[in-house]
Amino acid sequence: MLKKIISVAFLLTLICSYALAHTAIIENEGENRYKAVRLTPEIYNNANCDLSDILIKDEHGENVPYFINSGNQTKYATDRPTYPMILINSYTKDNYFYFDYKVKNIPNMDIAATSIEMTTMSTGFAKNIEIYGSYDNINWEFVQRDALYSIDGKSKLDIEFTKTQKYTHYRFKLGNNLEKISFSSVTLICNYFTREKIYFVESITPDFSVEEKDKITYINIKGLKNLRLGEVIIDTDSMFKRNVSTPFLTSKELYNLSFKDAEYTDTAIPFNWRISKDDILVLKINNGDDKPINIKGIIVRYYADELVFEGGKSKKYAIHFGADGAKIAPVYDIERYKNEILKGKIDRLDIILDKTTKGPEQYNYKMIFNVVVVIVAAVLGLLILTRLRK
């Protein structure tokens, strides 16, 4: 009898352990030797926070060695030459205001510029601006459109060029200048950057719910557990200026404002690689005496990882995860030469089936497992006590 109970207990424990596991299926495609698959939010939600429980298996159930590629990007300025500019002309035409500038001391070489910066004593303005460039102050070419503003202590007085420019003269065209703004200084900037690797930044639109209580809007965002968060963006058509707080951030001011023909918006909440430990992330917006804003949607940007492995003859591979919360990450030889692998061509594969997404709700397998263990322990205890009495 005792042997039978022990066997049943073992089988129940094995079944529950299997129930706790999750599987994602990927198809083997491409002609390159090495393959990579980008991890999905569902995998992060159910795997260990450090991904230590992940295994890749081939069609025969054999473990496939892999390494995790957590790409990153380092961007830093190696040089920053500046070129002061002087105002050479200003005038109005067809209700537009023009300011023409040229480089103060034009060097005997091309002037490369990645941005242009201004300073001004004027405040309380928001302007759409068009930038033109010239080499001779006669023939002008359109460069780009942008906006300048200085309102309520917030200002934007620089323009980042979409590509490097080499003009010696620049013209500003403003739609109106009722505030009579002027610029104290204008400077061309050339930032030389060095970039290394890249971030794997992914965007999702998660499910969320909104609650209003005591002048506070609570935004409950689902499915962010274990994600390394970049930023959360609130999609709204309301005009507002409010403070928002998160579990990681004391407070940040969000705004979505429109003045005449100019708009400026900041509804993005930075998280700076913070990892959400809970199934639901809660944002709190302080409304004060104002009406709650209309939240149309939520966009989440997070930093993802890739699993890189050597493909074989298997037509499909399976990623197993979520079976053991205390598991130590495997160590494979492939990790030692990953830098060389990443220099070559890699086939990027997609997850085509993820059992963690099946059905509207997930069973609480951990609770089931714990209940089974308690029941088995109780039965064994009663049996032992009965034998001892006999």
Domain range list for the chain: 2-73+305-389, 77-195, 201-303
Q: Among all chains, which residue has been given the structure tokens 């639109």?
A: 205
63 secondary structure, DSSP code: B
Classify burial at 18, counting beta carbons within 10 Å of its beta carbon; exposed 0-12, middle 13-18, buried 19 or more: exposed
Predicted local confidence at residue 284, as pLDDT: 95
Question: What CATH number matches the domain at 201-303, 1.10.10, 3.30.2010, 2.60.120, 2.40.160?
Answer: 2.60.120
Classify burial at 361, counting beta carbons within 10 Å of its beta carbon; exposed 0-12, middle 13-18, buried 19 or more: exposed
Tell me the three state secondary structure of residue 71: coil
Predicted local confidence at residue 22, as pLDDT: 85
Tens digit of pLDDT at every position of the chain (390 positions) = 544 444 444 444 434 444 456 889 999 999 999 999 999 999 999 999 999 999 999 999 999 999 999 875 455 656 778 999 999 999 998 888 999 999 998 888 888 999 999 999 888 888 899 999 999 999 999 999 999 998 888 889 999 998 999 999 999 999 877 778 889 999 999 887 666 667 789 999 999 999 999 999 999 999 999 999 999 999 999 999 999 999 887 789 999 998 877 888 999 999 988 998 888 999 999 999 999 999 999 999 999 999 999 998 899 999 999 867 778 889 999 999 888 898 889 999 988 755 444 433 444 445 555 655 667 666 666 767 776 676
Predicted local confidence at residue 363, as pLDDT: 45
- Give the type of residue at 337: Y
Architecture of domain 77-195: Sandwich (2.60)
Predicted local confidence at residue 10, as pLDDT: 40
Do the domains 201-303 and 77-195 match in fold?
yes
Tell me the three state secondary structure of residue 8: helix
Q: Please tell me the pTM assigned to this model.
A: 0.58
For the sheet containing 228-236, what is the strand order?
Answer: 201-204, 295-303, 228-236, 268-275
- Give the type of residue at 260: K
Query: 268-280 b/e with 16+ CB inside 10 Å = b?
Result: ebebeebbbeeeb
Q: Report how far residue 36's alpha carbon sits from residue 350's, in angstroms, rounded to the nearest whole number.
A: 9
Among residues 276, 384, 366, the alpha carbon closest in space to that of 324 is found at 366
Predicted local confidence at residue 360, as pLDDT: 36
Predicted local confidence at residue 11, as pLDDT: 41
Q: Among all chains, which residue has been given the structure tokens 């979520």?
A: 322
Q: Report how far residue 53's alpha carbon sits from residue 20's, in angstroms, rounded to the nearest whole number.
A: 12
Pairing mode of beta strands 346-349, 34-38: parallel
